């Protein structure tokens, strides 16, 4: 990509130099006290740049210089398919795919028909538990199999494939060509935390699929996403699994161009909008390269994608916020060019989703397509300096992960020797640490939690996947609320102490700890009266301005201890200009390990 082939979209009056941008950004950062007064304006770049879990530095502003040396992205519908598998989006946008599973056959059929009537265009059937391949005739009763594609996810994919084909034959119709028999033995092994099974069924399933005119294989990269993998690791895993399946098919005598159309890829879409867009674009570019190295024609290397809203990003607490997360994720999946999108219901972390949850899930895509017209433009992110740079960074990170897996002997060897899982666990630990320090925030759980919410109750889902949810540690704290509150010893007027009192209350609520507050106080005596009126809780958090701390904070701490407080927390940072560190037992300020702080506080309350 060069400067010459980029459109100049700004008029002369709207064009600004990098120095002008740096000056404006630096001025705002200095006002927010996020940049020292003496720092040069150019320091704004470093202050606003963040690094992803894959080590990709994401700059605050894309520039033509930053993309000057990137490889060509091509046009939509042409190799390397970065800009889309097709030259234009279909009139219906993307395939709206609902997930059905964990139910008895009759109820599964009812929900499948309701979803289809409500705008869903394909079904993703998860067999297992109460649903077996022999139940497919009941589950699919009334479903127009030549109109609605069916994607199967079954413990025994060969039995499920034969049953699905038999149902279509009994109805005297052909399965829709976008149906998929769902064979993914490696993904099944990862989900079961077992040794990778042989891909021996692949060739037999491929024959069944070819006879039925459908696809045979799903490379489900969400299995490693659910374990905590980064975007780059998810990409690398998908390439390695796809390559393993491609080798198995060609080794059985199939031509590369015949084998490639049998494979579909499934990726997770998160509420991190731009990384999701870039991941899907990078995935197509990478698979086109694998196909090219395998000797395929350029057309055969177009990757077909199914995006599923992330399970780990969702929360069991304040689950209605999940609707916001999944909407952003579905938007990003659509912008990123996914062929099919599954929005998981907002209450799915609680068990079997409700009718409301399923309705909102299917309506999310319908609204994005029909009312927001997100699918009206092919690759709307294309040409954005920031999006192109992030796409290239993720492509390189994914390829590096793919090379590491291949160097270990391939995907089965990398899973067997634990090397891949070790790298995923390391990334998951870093993410957990970010959540613990609240630099990676989860609204409704680590930020703005609602201790007064009435928990939603759902029937258990026997087919629920094991997921390493990002906020699992905080959910565990909320599962066992603290038995005693923390007393907020607020110094001064409401206006003076509100900022730190609100910060402390929000932080404590994230750990399931309620608070009681002193309200406005005029001095030590009025503070003690408020404290004594609350049964003298053992843990106290002093909240006020630095000036109040310096004026009477030390005296207030001493008086509270004398009156029964056994553990005193300072809201803010202790020091000579506030309250000395040796006078308090703990402190709460931005950047602290919230999980460790909350655990300690709960211990002191007990």
Query: Are 590 and 439 spatial neighbours (Cβ–Cβ below 8 Å)?
Result: no
Closest CA to 568 of 544, 539, 595, 545: 539
The whole domain housing 572 covers: 480-605
Residues 6+ apart with CB under 8 A from 373: none
| Same domain, yes or no: 249 and 359 | yes
Domain boundary among 366, 383, 411: 411
Closest CA to 217 of 195, 187, 240: 187
pTM: 0.94
Q: CA-CA distances (angstroms) from residue 186 to 196, 232, 391, 528, 569?
A: 5, 19, 27, 64, 50
Residues 6+ apart with CB under 8 A from 376: 89
Tokens of 297: 């024609």
Closest CA to 341 of 126, 92, 98, 596: 98
| Same domain, yes or no: 406 and 496 | no
Helix axes 231-251, 385-407, angle to 10 degrees: 50
Residues 6+ apart with CB under 8 A from 500: 543, 544, 545, 571, 572
Closest CA to 151 of 291, 288, 265, 284: 265
CA distance 464 to 349: 8
Q: Kind and range of the H or E element at 220?
A: strand 215-220
Q: How many residues does the chain have?
A: 606
CA distance 40 to 29: 12
Beta bridge partners of 101: 126
| Same domain, yes or no: 163 and 274 | yes
Let me know how many helices (H) and strands (E) the chain has, helices first: 22, 15
| Same domain, yes or no: 272 and 145 | yes
CA distance 34 to 38: 12
CA distance 368 to 341: 11
Q: Say which DSSP state 304 is in.
A: P
Helices marked H in 213-264: 222-225, 231-251, 256-259
User: Phi, psi (5° rounding) for residue 442?
Assistant: -125, 105
Tokens of 131: 């649903």
- Whose structure tokens read 């997921």? 467
Beta bridge partners of 96: 341
Query: Are 221 and 237 spatial neighbours (Cβ–Cβ below 8 Å)?
Result: yes
Domain boundary among 411, 444, 465: 411
- Could you tell me the mean pLDDT of each successive run of 10 residues in the chain, 606 residues long? 52 79 92 89 91 92 88 93 93 94 93 96 94 95 96 94 96 95 94 69 92 97 98 98 96 95 98 97 98 95 97 97 98 97 97 96 96 93 93 97 97 94 97 96 95 91 91 96 94 95 97 95 93 89 96 95 95 92 95 96 94
SS3 479: helix
The CATH number of the domain holding residue 532 is 3.40.50.280
| Same domain, yes or no: 353 and 498 | no
Domain boundary among 395, 411, 427: 411
Closest CA to 196 of 413, 466, 465, 464: 413
The CATH number of the domain holding residue 275 is 3.20.20.240
pLDDT at 91: 84
Instruction: Identify whether 455 is part of a domain.
Output: no
| Same domain, yes or no: 386 and 503 | no
Torsion of CA 374, 379, 384, 388, to 10 degrees: 130
Instruction: Identify whether 338 is part of a domain.
Output: yes
| Same domain, yes or no: 327 and 189 | yes
CA distance 227 to 54: 16
Q: Say which DSSP state 230 is in.
A: -
User: Phi, psi (5° rounding) for residue 240?
Assistant: -65, -40
| Same domain, yes or no: 254 and 359 | yes
| Same domain, yes or no: 405 and 511 | no
Instruction: Identify whether 67 is part of a domain.
Output: no
The answer to whether the peptide bond before residue 80 is cis (omega within 30 degrees of 0) is yes
What letters, b where the CB count within 10 A reaches 16 and e where it falls short, cover 78-87? Answer: bbbbbbbbee
| Same domain, yes or no: 310 and 177 | yes
Tokens of 467: 């997921």
Instruction: Identify whether 493 is part of a domain.
Output: yes
Instruction: Identify whether 179 is part of a domain.
Output: yes
Beta bridge partners of 588: 571
User: Phi, psi (5° rounding) for residue 198?
Assistant: -65, 145
Secondary structure, 3-state, 365-427: HHHHHHCCCHHHCCCCCCCCHHHHHHHHHHHHHHHHHHHHHHHCCCHHHHHHCCHHHHHHHHH
Q: How many domains does the chain have?
A: 2
CA distance 571 to 593: 14
Tokens of 508: 């404590």
Q: CA-CA distances (angstroms) from residue 406 to 124, 236, 243, 412?
A: 31, 10, 10, 10
**CB-CB neighbours of 21 under 10 Å:** 16
Instruction: Identify whether 281 is part of a domain.
Output: yes
CA distance 112 to 142: 10
The string of DSSP codes covering 362-374 is: HHHHHHHHHTS-G
| Same domain, yes or no: 250 and 364 | yes
Q: Between vectors from CA 282 to CA 276 and to CA 284, what angle results, nearest 5°?
A: 110
Instruction: Identify whether 39 is part of a domain.
Output: no
Q: CA-CA distances (angstroms) from residue 528 to 487, 516, 523?
A: 11, 14, 9
Calculate Rg over the CA atoms of the chain. Answer: 28
CA distance 560 to 567: 10
Q: Kind and range of the H or E element at 181?
A: strand 180-183
Hey, which bits of 127-173 come out as E strands?
Answer: 150-153
| Same domain, yes or no: 366 and 235 | yes
Instruction: Identify whether 382 is part of a domain.
Output: yes
pLDDT at 516: 95
């Amino acid at each position: 990509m060069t400067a010459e082939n980029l459109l100049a979209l700004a008029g002369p009056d709207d064009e600004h130099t990098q120095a002008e941008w740096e000056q404006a950004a630096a001025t705002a950062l200095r006002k927010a006290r996020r940049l020292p007064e003496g720092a040069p304006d150019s320091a704004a770049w470093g202050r606003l740049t963040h690094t992803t879990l894959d080590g990709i530095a994401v700059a605050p502003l894309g520039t033509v210089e930053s993309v000057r040396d990137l490889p060509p992205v091509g046009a939509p519908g042409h190799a390397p398919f970065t800009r889309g598998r097709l030259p234009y989006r279909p009139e219906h946008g993307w395939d709206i795919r609902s997930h059905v599973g964990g139910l008895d056959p009759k109820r599964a059929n009812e929900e499948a028909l309701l979803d289809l009537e409500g705008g869903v265009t394909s079904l993703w059937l998860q067999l297992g538990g109460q649903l077996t391949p022999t139940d497919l005739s009941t589950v699919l009763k009334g479903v127009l199999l030549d109109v609605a594609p069916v994607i199967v996810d079954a413990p025994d994919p060969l039995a499920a494939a034969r049953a699905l084909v038999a149902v279509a034959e009994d109805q005297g119709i052909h399965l829709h060509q976008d149906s998929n028999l769902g064979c993914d033995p490696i993904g099944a092994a990862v989900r079961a935390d077992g040794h990778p099974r042989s891909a021996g069924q692949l060739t037999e399933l491929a024959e069944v699929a070819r006879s039925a005119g459908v696809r045979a294989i799903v490379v489900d990269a969400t299995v490693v996403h659910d374990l905590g993998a980064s975007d780059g690791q998810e990409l690398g895993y998908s390439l390695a699994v796809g390559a393993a399946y491609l080798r198995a098919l060609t080794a059985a005598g199939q031509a590369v161009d015949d084998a490639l159309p049998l494979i579909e890829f499934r990726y997770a879409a998160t509420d991190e909008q731009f990384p999701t867009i870039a991941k899907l674009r990078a995935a197509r570019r990478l698979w086109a390269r694998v196909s090219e190295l395998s000797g395929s024609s350029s057309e055969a290397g177009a990757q077909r994608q199914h995006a599923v809203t992330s399970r780990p990003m969702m929360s069991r607490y304040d689950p209605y916020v999940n609707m916001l997360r999944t909407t952003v994720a579905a938007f990003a999946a659509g912008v990123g060019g996914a062929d099919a999108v599954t929005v998981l219901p907002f209450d799915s972390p609680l068990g079997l989703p409700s009718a409301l949850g399923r309705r909102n899930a299917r309506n999310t895509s319908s609204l994005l397509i029909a009312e927001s017209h997100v699918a009206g433009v092919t690759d709307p992110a294309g040409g954005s300096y920031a999006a192109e740079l992030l796409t290239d960074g993720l492509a390189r990170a994914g390829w590096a992960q793919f090379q590491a897996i291949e160097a270990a002997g391939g995907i089965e060897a990398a899973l067997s020797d634990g090397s891949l899982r070790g790298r995923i666990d390391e990334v998951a630990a870093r993410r957990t640490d970010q959540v613990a320090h609240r630099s990676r925030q989860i609204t409704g759980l680590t930020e703005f939690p609602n201790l007064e919410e009435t928990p939603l109750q759902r029937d258990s889902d026997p087919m629920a996947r094991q997921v390493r949810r990002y906020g699992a540690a905080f959910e565990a704290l909320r599962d066992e609320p603290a038995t005693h509150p923390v007393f907020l010893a607020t110094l001064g007027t409401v206006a003076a102490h509100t900022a730190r009192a609100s910060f402390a209350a929000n932080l404590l609520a994230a750990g399931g700890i309620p608070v009681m507050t002193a309200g406005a106080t005029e001095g030590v005596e009025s503070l003690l009266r408020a404290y004594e009126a609350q049964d003298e809780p053992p843990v106290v958090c002093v909240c006020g301005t630095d000036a109040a701390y310096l004026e009477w904070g030390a005296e207030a701490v001493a008086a509270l201890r004398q009156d029964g407080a056994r553990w005193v927390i300072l809201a803010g940072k202790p020091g000579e200009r506030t309250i000395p560190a040796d006078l308090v037992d703990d402190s709460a300020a931005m950047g602290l390990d919230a999980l460790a702080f909350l655990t300690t506080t709960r211990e002191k309350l007990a």
